[in-house]
Amino acid sequence: MPPPFDPRLARASRSARWYLAATGAMGLVTAALVVASAVLVSTLVQRVAAPGQAGGNAEFVALLAAVFAARAAVAWLHARYKHRAAPRAVAELQTELLVRMAAADQRTAALHRDLAATLVARELDGVRAYLTGYLPALVLSATVTPVTVVAIAVLDPLSGVVVACGIPLVVLFMVLIGQYSQGRSAKRLAALSRLSAELMDLVAGLATLRALGREFGPARRVRELGRAHYRASMATLRTAFLSSLALELLTTFCVAIVAVMVGLRLVNGQMGLFAGLAALMLAPEAYAPIRSVGAQFHAAQDGAAACAKAFELLECLPVRQRGNRTGEAASALRLCSLTVAGRDANAPERMDAVLRPGEITVLTGPNGSGKSTTLRVLLGLVSPDQGEAFLGDTPIRELEPRWWWDQVFWVPQQPVLRPGEIGSNVGLSLGEVQRVALARALASSAQVYLLDEPTAHLDADSQAQLLRCLREKAQSGATVVVVSHRPAVVEAADEVVRFGPRVRERACG
């Protein structure tokens, strides 16, 4: 069973640290006010009940009203603060996940893309319930409960012993509930993750399924996943209701024992009214935070599990050391024994090549041989497993990313529309989007052009025009690197680097 509070949350979120500190301080103030209110009420009742002391209690009434007002003010301040701090803490955690995913090696990011999307889009919202409900109750149980137990023990040692003995039983029962609920919550989150991942894959491939006439095929699988999520959610709710009922019965039974003991001793004259009434008022207050923890536990389990999954993902996405060097953008790009591990084999493997400015270099070879991966290595998006890519004598990984990306124009196989341009590009086909990207590239003044299959959706005339424009860019001193299978593009190259099982060897100098 995980700890009640994950300290990684406080380390990762500044808002969570301040919120935890403020909640602890307010818990101590609340504990003091709880004891003060019980003492004042007991004193006032004793004075009213005593012969000849019914009057002159205005100051006690005013003080008691001030204590109740202070308790209400503290509760209001905490409620106001928690509903502001919790969303900020969740937003900070979501931002950290997105930043790590954006900065991670593309291969690592691809492995965790579905989990990160599910966490950021939905599951981390459960952390709000964890922060606004469960965590405050947990802090109150660590502040109000010990203070009230000590106060009861001072007022009436026997009642203090009964209350103190009942607390471990309640805690033990909560631990057993937690161990049972953990598996239920994990199953629910797993069902939700599977549903989200398969729906995202379905949406991504919906155009292909529709083209093949198979758009209704996955409906059965989606319904099965939805029913699995429903069953897991209902099982969690049943556990929550039954365990809350049992917890309420146990705490009520402990308070009832104190009430019976106090009542019998008051009747027999073995106990004073002040001590008995104060102990009787403080006994429910000692158990109230623990009961609140039990009530909030199940609602917060999804948030706690999502929080744990988020930190596990962050541990899988270490902070990459970004370079801070700049170089001469007009220098040659060099690949020295470049090796990147693929799904089944290295692609590329021990690649040596020189990509010179003023030339058109074409990377060609069978699919899956590592051509697109090589472009990503040159961009600094993928870290090689062996070997190195250089700009002149400077490793690409040591270059300051923003500076380097300002020198490079990259056109991938499937260009992505930039934010704010959707309205002007609605209805464009993949080929039209690629032409827009190529037009932007040719209109830029970059020093390095990395083009991945730029002629895939072009006719012969457009292809010839593109090659003429690329030749002009090369003649102006730019480094032009093109990935292509087309013979016309290969023939137009100044240098050809062939990928495959038998890699052409080149000098790194």
Identify the three-state secondary structure at position 280: helix
Q: Which of 333, 347, 338 is nearest to 384 (CA)?
A: 338
Q: Which tokens belong to 174?
A: 């909560």
Q: Which of 144, 406, 442 is nearest to 284 (CA)?
A: 144
Q: Are 82 and 23 within 8 A, CB to CB?
A: yes
368 C-beta neighbours (distance < 10 Å), count:
15
pLDDT digits (tens, 9 = 90+) for 449-506: 999 988 888 888 888 999 999 999 999 999 999 999 888 989 989 889 888 754 444 4
Burial of residue 284 (CB within 10 Å: 0-12, 13-18, 19+) is: middle
Q: Which tokens belong to 203?
A: 């949406």
The separation between CA 485 and the C-alpha centre of its own chain, rounded to angstroms, equals 41
CATH numbers and ranges of domains, the chain: 7-316 (1.20.1560.10), 333-419+427-498 (3.40.50.300)
448 C-beta neighbours (distance < 10 Å), count:
23
How many angstroms separate the CA atoms of 184 and 241, rounded? 14
Task: Give me the phi and psi of 497, to 5 degrees please.
Answer: -115, 115
| Residue whose pair of structure tokens reads 């220098």 in the numeric block | 331
How many angstroms separate the CA atoms of 497 and 475, rounded? 20
Mean pLDDT by 10 residues, the chain (509 residues): 72 87 91 92 83 69 91 92 90 88 77 81 82 87 91 90 86 71 64 70 75 75 74 71 76 88 87 88 88 74 81 78 70 87 78 90 86 88 86 86 88 71 57 80 88 86 90 91 90 87 43
How many angstroms separate the CA atoms of 50 and 68, rounded? 24
Asked if omega into 487 is within 30° of 0 (cis), the reply is no
How many angstroms separate the CA atoms of 459 and 147, rounded? 81
